[in-house]
Each structure stands twice: as C-alpha cells, then as structure tokens.
Amino acid sequence: MFKQDKIIIFDTTLRDGEQAPGATMNLEEKLAVAKMLEKMGVDVIEAGFPVASEGDFHAVNEIAKIVKNSVVCGLARARENDIRKAAEAIKPAARSRIHTFIATSKIHMEYKLKMDEKQVLSAITDSVSLAKSLSDEVDWSCEDGTRTELDFLYKAIETAIKAGAGVINIPDTVGYTTPEEYFELITNIKNNVSNIDKAIISTHCHNDLGLAVANSLSAVRAGARQVECTINGIGERAGNAALEEIVMAIKTRNDFYNFTTNIDTTLISRASKLVSKATSFPVQYNKAIVGANAFAHESGIHQDGMLKNRNTYEIMTPESIGLEKSSLVLGKHSGRAAFKDRLNQLGYDLGHNALESAFARFKDLADRKKEILDEDIISLVHDGSSLEKAKYQFVDMQITTAANTSEVVLKVNIDDKEMTAAVISNNGPVDAIFKGIKNLIPHDAILELYQISAVTGGTDSQATATVRLRNGDKTITCSASDLNVLTASALAYINCLNKLK
Ligand code: KIV
Ligand code: ZN
C-alpha cells in the first residue's frame, strides 16, 4: 500500500497540446480553455511558449491576467531571451512558473544541440538560476530524459536543483519507455541524486506506444508527485498522457493508487468538448472516459446486467465526469440570462458584442432545433467567433443532387462583394461545393482531411464538418456546425481558407 498523497496536475493542453499539427487555437479559445482548467482545479496551467511568436506571448500574458487559482507557467529553452520573454509574459500571474528545458540524451546533445556534457551542465546552471531570479517557481526538464545515460542524468538533475529548480520533470519525449522501466528510472533518480529531497519529481509522457498514461501512473507509484498531461491526450504526434484518464484512474482505483488530485471530475466532459471544439480535433468514439461510447452499453447481456445492478459493467458513473442530463435544457423560449449562465458554466465569458451575436445565432438555431444542448452551444460560439471578421463569408447555396450528378450554385462574399460559382460534379455534392469554393477562392492548399460527425444524437442533430488544409509547412484544421450537413461542410472549408489567409 502507498502513502496517501496529493498529485499535482500540470496541464499542458495550451502548450504541448497546441503543438499538435493543426491544433492551433485563437486567443478567445485559449482563454476559454484556461478558465475551464482553472475551474476544474488544475494546479499548474502551462499556457504556452512565449518566445515562439507574438501571438503565443500575448496569449500567455492574457491568461496570466485572468487566472487566479492555478499557477500560470510559460515554457522556455535554456536561452536568456526565451527565459526573459517567459518571465515577462507570466508576470501578471498570482503565482507564476517558468518551465525551462534542455536535452540531455547523447543523440540530442550531439546532433541537435551540438553541445558536450560540460556545456549542457553550464547551460542548466545559467538558465535555471536566471529563471529562479525572475519567477516564483522553476520547473526544469531534461528533454529526452528516458534515453539519457543515467550518470549524466543524475549530474544534470543535481545541477538544476542546486541552481534553484523546485520541480524536476523527466520527459519521455519520444514515447519510448515502458511502465516497468520508467518506475525503475524514477526509483534510481530518488536513490542516486543527492539533493532530490529538495525537489518534486514530475512525469511528462508521450503516447507513441500507447503507454503514456500507464507510464505516468507507474512514475507516480515510484514517487513522482506531479503529472504533466493534456485534455483528450492531445499533443505532438500520438499525443500526451490524457488528464482525464490519469485523474479517473486515481479516483476509480483509489484502493490501489492511494492518491488524491484537486480536480473536480464533474467538469471533465465539458472540458473535453471545449478542447475538442477549440482545436477541431474530434474525440475518438471509444476513447477512455470521454469518448461517446465510453458509457454506452450495447450488447443484450451487458444491458441486462446494467438493469439488474449498474456495478456489473460500470466501474465509474457517467455523472462522475459530468455527463448527467442537463437539468436546464435551453430552447427557443430561453432568454439571454439563461443563455449567458450556460455559457459561463461552459467556461466562456463573452464581451457584450460577442454575447449578443452568439445569442442571435442561438435564437436562430432554437427556431430550427427543439432542444439546444451544451455541444450545440459550444459549436455556435466557436463557429461565430471565426466568422465575424472573416474575409470570405458563406452566403448561401442551391444544390441539386441525383445518384450520379450533383450541381451546386454557391454564393460567397469576398471582401463584402458577393460572388457566385456554378459547378457540376460526378463525385457527389461535397466535391461540387469544394470545387465551387476553389473556383471563387483560388489557392494551392491541399485538402488533408474532411470528416463529418453528429454534434448530438438524433436526426435533428447538427453536423460538424472538419476540414484540414496544408499549405507548405502550415497546417490548419477548422470545423463548423449546422443542421444542414452540406452547409457545415462549406463553412468549415471557408473557415480554413480564412485562417490560412
Ligand atoms: O516532450 C518533451 O520533452 C517536452 C519538453 C519541452 C518538456 O515537451
Ligand atoms: Zn512533450
């Protein structure tokens, strides 16, 4: 049995999560996610990488101004300019942290950094002490830690702690380790780093082999007390350890993992939907905890068991992640106050104009759809925010479709001038619409993904269309929702072209 202990949840959805190709969020979306993370009880929010761009700097700075209960953290390489930028961005935070890192594995030092061990150790001392002089807390990471030679790793950690790091993060940057190996690594660090008692050990696992959550939990059992993770497990390549899986494993198997977290698990479902919408990354149906099927019991045997006693097939309740049926269903008679209240619960705090415009879209949708669910509201907020100041605006279209031929007459406003295109395609109506858009807005971007999913259940559900375009090394993913699946498709494509501009 392990000691009852609190695990610090360090969320990096807005930094490592946003680094996933195509997962870019705008400022408004980042602020909504940050507010939701704070509301959930996340201990540390890694808000971005301030030196990466003006946009990143501004987002971290704005998040630092509004978040009061979580530590706000900015990422920095072991470079003076990175660290100063991070410090400036997080300055308004009630509690601030700089997360600085340098690679320590032989392969990274030789090929990427072109530095030897002595130079890396000296960079650690300089970067951590500078960070410590500029921020309340310092988190230090040995990038590619799990592939670092042990003796050098111990030396690097000792150096970082001596320079002032209070948290030592051991990233499995390439998702290579296994639960047993990672357990042993954390144990070795505890036994061989002379000053390790002065720091908290942290985990940061990538999911290339599907082991990120198992590895993180294994590290916790070995003595790590901070877990770096993301909502829905989004992140570089196969993603990071999923926050909801870590937290629910600790809660559901508290008999085994005798730990606690600060997270209000009843906000998990909302946070997952918000991040999915903001990033246009759909959640896979069978994703643990937050997938649409995670609490669906289909087979007769399972349903029979559930009716007799829910514990036969249910190890945690949908209510524990906030999936209870909403007690207040919004519809066409709902007023501004109810709408605003629901928006606040979902993590949005819109200014006057944005609220008025979202409310108008809500009324429009409520005229066509009887019950407006949380997913509908999230969709209409996001769709609206991307449309308001757009260069290209969808106006309308007429479609005639038969088994083999589809014909579309499409109208798009381009810089406030209405343009029309007429296209016939033998490949279906979506092909006709996309060709029509390309005729009106010529571009070289390549369509990498087109996907449709239902926002809620039932045939009156809105459809969400997701489109990913690549132009050179820039990848943009956009989604849009509408009761008409073809309109949603046109809107998603046009949103992407607006973002590419
Ligand atoms: O995966 C990684 O190594 C990182 C570091 C910057 C912590 O994201
Ligand atoms: Zn990472």
Q: pLDDT tens digits for 430-483? A: 999 999 999 999 999 999 999 998 887 788 889 999 999 999 888 888 889 999
Atom of ligand 1 lying closest to residue 228 CA: 7
Does the beta carbon of 19 lie inside 6 Å of ligand 1?
Answer: no
Q: Is 146 in the pocket of ligand 1 (CB under 6 A)?
A: no
Helix pair 336-345, 352-368: axis angle to 10 deg: 110
243 neighbors 11 (Cβ within 8 angstroms): yes
Q: Kindly give the distance from the C-alpha atom of residue 205 to the centroid of ligand 2, in angstroms, as a whole number.
A: 7
Residues whose Cβ atom is located within 5 A of ion ligand 2: 16
The 8-class DSSP code of residue 206 comes to: B
If one residue of 176, 204, 226 were mutated to test the ligand 1 pocket, choosing by the most ligand atoms within 8 A of its CB, it would be: 204
> How far apart are the C-alpha atoms of 452 and 97, rounded to whole Å?
40
> Quick one: pLDDT band at residue 261, thresholds 50, 70, 90?
very high
Helix (H) or strand (E) holding 145: none
Higher-pLDDT residue of 323 and 405 is 405
Any residues with CB less than 8 A from the CB of 353 and at least 6 apart, and which? none
**Atom of ligand 1 lying closest to residue 12 CA:** 8
Q: Is residue 113 classed as helix, strand or coil in its secondary structure? A: helix
- Parallel, antiparallel or unpaired: strands 417-425 and 200-205: unpaired
Q: Which residues contact residue 10 at a Cβ distance below 8 angstroms, ignoring those fewer than 6 apart?
A: 42, 43, 44, 46, 73, 139, 202, 226, 227, 228, 229
pTM summary value: 0.85
Residues 71-125 have pLDDT tens digits of 999 999 999 999 999 999 999 999 999 999 999 999 999 999 999 999 999 999 9
In degrees and rounded to multiples of 5, residue 61 shows phi and psi of -65, -45
- Class of residue 141 by CB neighbours under 10 A (exposed 0-12, middle 13-18, buried 19+): buried
d(CA 206, CA 211): 8
Residues in a beta bridge with 470: 446, 475
Q: Compute the distance between CA of residue 271 and CA of residue 42 in angstroms, rounded to an integer.
A: 12
Question: Ligand 1 pocket test: which of 82, 173, 216, 228 has the largest number of ligand atoms within 8 Å of its C-beta?
Answer: 173
> Position of tokens 């073809």?
486
Q: Which of 58-72, 98-112, 274-288 has the lowest mean pLDDT?
A: 274-288
Q: Which ligand is nearest to the CA of 202?
A: 1
Find out whether the beta carbon of 12 lies less than 6 Å from any atom of ligand 1.
Answer: no
CB 15 within 8 A of CB 47: yes
For residue 3, give Cα distances in angstroms to 18, 44, 254. 35, 23, 11
- Ligand 2 centre distance from Cα of residue 389 (Å): 34
- 227 C-alpha to ligand 2 centroid (Å): 12
Instruction: Read off the DSSP letter of residue 235.
Output: -
Identify the band that residue 4 occupies on the pLDDT scale cut at 50, 70 and 90: low
Ligand 2: centre distance to CA 305 (Å): 41
Q: What percent of the chain has pLDDT over 90?
A: 73
Gap between the Cα atoms of 469 and 450, Å rounded: 9
Ligand 1 atom nearest the C-alpha of 144 is 3
